[in-house]
Amino acid sequence: MRGVCGKRRCILDRTRRVGLIKLMCGRYALAISPELVAALTGVASAAGFPPRYNIAPSQPILIVIGGREERPDADNAERQLRLVRWGLVPSWVKDPKAFPLLFNARSESAAEKNTFRAALRYRRCLVPASGFYEWQRAGKRKQPFLIRPRQGEFMAFAGLMETWQGADGSEVDTAAILTTSANATLAPIHERMPVIVPPSQFGRWLDCRSFDAADVAGLMAPAPDDLLEAVAVVDAVNSAARMGPEVQTPVDRAMTEATSPNQDEPEPEKRKGGPAQGSLF
């Protein structure tokens, strides 16, 4: 894959420098109510947002950030939910259009990278999710899997937030998801997975006043092997234009419906263009 080169450096090479081994595309889902998200993360109130089954990089995502007692530069008194752009842009970047889309960050090296160091120390956040997608190569094609909790319908990824400010005074809140090596459940599908913060450690992760990067290093580990399950789903999730619950249809159910003698044959669907699917983590 070729990078897009500008006047000073190649974006692909810069992406490798800041901690991404390769360019990746990714998707995850958040399909539970805002009231439940707020209750599970200790947020007093939540604005309404619709269920989203196929969230892609550069889109708005929901995060949880600490209040003044947890975050030194907080502009909010209490812990709150906030919509931000999925793709972290550090405050020192002059032209975000020339900066790579950093939607994830390797937890093993984040504390050493100038791009992520300050956010890991002062602006940690949680990214609520009900599942994420990963692709496993099967011959000449890639099979998508929905990775979700075995129990319940909620988990929270470890995230980093930065606010980029333009020369005209405009501000854009952005975020990235931290990743770690895959656990035994995910390893047959992919080598990486998101860092999933246990609910009992939400406060520690969000408390950037009391706990620095070294204090939370132990949280950036693979999830327990029995926390998640992987379900093969239909290829509809490959297209970011497909945003409904149908993208989570298990493959075996889709095959059963397709071969049922009582099922009307659907009209052929035109395949929409878009980036090929790779790895979220």
Selected catalytic residue, list 25, 70, 162, 208: 25
Taking the CA atoms of the chain, what radius of gyration do you get in angstroms? 19
Determine, yes or no, domain membership for 231: yes
For the chain, 281 residues long, the average pLDDT of each consecutive 10-residue run is 37 40 66 93 87 96 95 90 95 90 95 96 97 92 96 96 90 96 96 96 97 98 97 96 96 60 36 40 46
Known catalytic residue: 25? yes
What integer pLDDT is reported at residue 63 of this predicted model? 96
Determine, yes or no, domain membership for 268: no
Domain encompassing residue 154: 11-259
- Please report where in the chains the tokens 């889902």 appear, as a residue: 29
Determine, yes or no, domain membership for 4: no
* Whether 22 contacts 47, CB under 8 Å: no
CATH of residue 80: 3.90.1680.10
Determine, yes or no, domain membership for 264: no
Q: In angstroms, rounded to a whole number, what is the distance separating the alpha carbons of residues 236 and 206?
A: 35
What integer pLDDT is reported at residue 258 of this predicted model? 52
What integer pLDDT is reported at residue 257 of this predicted model? 56
How many domains is the chain built from? 1
Query: Beta partners for 5?
Result: 10
Burial class for 253, CB neighbours closer than 10 Å (0-12, 13-18, 19+): exposed
What integer pLDDT is reported at residue 115 of this predicted model? 95
Determine, yes or no, domain membership for 265: no
What integer pLDDT is reported at residue 188 of this predicted model? 95
Selected catalytic residue, list 70, 125, 134, 162: 134
What integer pLDDT is reported at residue 260 of this predicted model? 44
Determine, yes or no, domain membership for 161: yes
